[in-house]
Amino acid sequence: MPIATRAFAATAAHTPLSPYSFERRDPGPDDVAIDIQFCGVCHSDLHVANNDLGNTRYPIVPGHEIAGVVSAVGSDVTRFKIGDRVGVGCMVDSCRVCSSCKEGEEQYCVPGMTQTYGSPDPKGAAVGQTVTQGGYSDHITVDQNYVLSIPDSIPLDAAAPLLCAGITTYSPLREWKVGPGSKVAVIGLGGLGHMAVKQAAAMGAEVTVLSTSDRKKADAERMGAKHFLINSDKAAMAAAGEKFDLIINTVSATHEIASHINLLARDGTMVMLGLSTEGMPVYALPLLWRRRRIAGSLIGGIRETQEMLDFCAEHGIACEIEVIAPDRINEAYSRMEKSDVRYRFVLDMAKL
């Protein structure tokens, strides 16, 4: 039987999200049905709801930071059982045969991963769904190969944002081999930035936070940052020149990055994580002069996401959250645009 599902959805660009009902597919042989308990609110949800990328198909149920409990499993499911604490991140399928998928980097699937919301959904045809719908809802059905196990030591509400914010920062820290002795700067102390600070510090790095003001300095230090730098302070920026091996840039709005390149040591890398939609100029000479790099990173594959969850459990790391009822999602979007959250909104789907 199809699973009746309640949700909040965007029905047009720049209009408030509103209650929405639809059906999820009943679990097939390899599927896991999940009662969603919490769903994080990501800045990319706002971009999609507002059609900032120009490809949103309405109505759309955002949400790709999903934590809940297994309610049913298909006949061939071996990894999960009813009652397990599980999570779903930014993808629910991929081609499984391209080089990226075979290497456990499903997020870089060559034909394109099936995103948790907004992707074509051939598996949803039986219940009239042509597009995947996300976690601002009370149920979801996902192939077992794209479901994560949430360690018992992490509360489900604080675990939810790890499925995007947590893996988005963990993946580049691992890719660029951060460890004891590494000097890491984090630009922006928001939903992503605060996770980068906690994870990099737990890996043994010396962490500096760059921000536009000092209002979050105490938070940054509590999370493990050793230094705090105001990026409008030209003298302080000059003094920090050529210091960092890695800069994690989490800012999702268009901003000036050219002056930050000089903070990188030789062979240093700035990794862009924010989903900005406009160009940001840089100059060749500072890159050439020290063999510096600007790179991008998405989320992580399923294997790496599970590794991240286990790492966070081992080190006592979780997102710092503000839990709200789903009917406050439009207020949350408004506050998120003003950076008025410390540090991630999480929807309590029991209050739907």
Give percent of the chain with pLDDT exceeding 70. Answer: 100
Radius of gyration of the chain (CA): 20
| Distance, C-alpha 85 to centroid of its chain | 19
Other CB atoms within 10 A of residue 276 CB: 16
CA dihedral of 102, 123, 307, 42, whole degrees rounded to 10: 120
Could you give the CA distance from residue 260 to residue 92 in angstroms, rounded to a whole number? 36
Instruction: Kindly provide the residue ranges of all beta strands, DSSP E only, lying in 15-159, ordered along the sequence.
Output: 18-24, 31-40, 66-73, 85-88, 91-93, 114-115, 139-143, 148-149
Please write the tens of the pLDDT for every residue from 316-343: 999 999 999 999 999 999 999 888 998 9
Give ∠ CA 169-307-211 in degrees, rounded to 5: 15
Give ∠ CA 138-165-189 in degrees, rounded to 5: 130
pLDDT at 339: 86
| Average pLDDT, rounded, for the chain | 95
Specify the pTM. Answer: 0.94
pLDDT at 329: 97
**Residue 136: pLDDT over 80:** yes
Residue 279 vs residue 113, higher pLDDT: 113
**Residue 57: pLDDT over 80:** yes
Place of tokens 């391209």: 98
Six-digit token string for 86: 């599980």
Among residues 294, 251, 293, 292, the alpha carbon closest in space to that of 273 is found at 251
Query: Which residues make Cβ contacts (< 8 Å) with residue 233, sequence separation at least 6?
Result: none
pLDDT at 279: 85
pLDDT band at 107 (very low <50, low <70, confident <90, very high): very high
Among residues 36, 20, 248, 212, the alpha carbon closest in space to that of 140 is found at 36
CB 182 within 8 A of CB 246: yes
Residue 343 vs residue 347, higher pLDDT: 347
Tell me yes or no: is domain 3-164+320-351 CATH 3.90.180.10.
Answer: yes
Task: Indicate where the chain has its CATH 3.90.180.10 domain(s).
Answer: 3-164+320-351
Phi, psi of 17 (to 5 degrees): -70, 150
b or e along 203-234 (b: 16 or more beta carbons within 10 Å of the residue's beta carbon)?
bebbbbbbbeeeebbebbeebbbebbbebeee
CA atoms within 13 A on the CB side of 327: 4
Please write the tens of the pLDDT for every residue from 200-255: 999 999 999 999 889 999 999 999 999 999 988 999 999 999 999 999 999 888 88
CA 341, 343, 348, 349 torsion: positive or negative? positive
Could you give the CA distance from residue 303 to residue 306 in angstroms, rounded to a whole number? 5
pLDDT band at 125 (very low <50, low <70, confident <90, very high): confident
Among residues 201, 209, 210, the alpha carbon closest in space to that of 178 is found at 201
Among residues 225, 224, 231, 265, the alpha carbon closest in space to that of 245 is found at 265
Task: Indicate where the chain has its CATH 3.40.50.720 domain(s).
Answer: 166-296
pLDDT band at 1 (very low <50, low <70, confident <90, very high): confident
Six-digit token string for 18: 């509103």
Could you give the CA distance from residue 276 to residue 164 in angstroms, rounded to a whole number? 16
The helix (H) or strand (E) run that includes residue 193 is helix 191-202
| CA distances in angstroms from 2 to 18, 23, 171, 324, listed in the order given | 22, 6, 36, 28
Please write the tens of the pLDDT for every residue from 72-98: 999 999 999 999 999 999 999 999 999
Bond before 343 cis per omega within 30 degrees: yes
**Architecture in CATH for domain 166-296:** 3-Layer(aba) Sandwich (3.40)
Give percent of the chain with pLDDT exceeding 90. Answer: 86
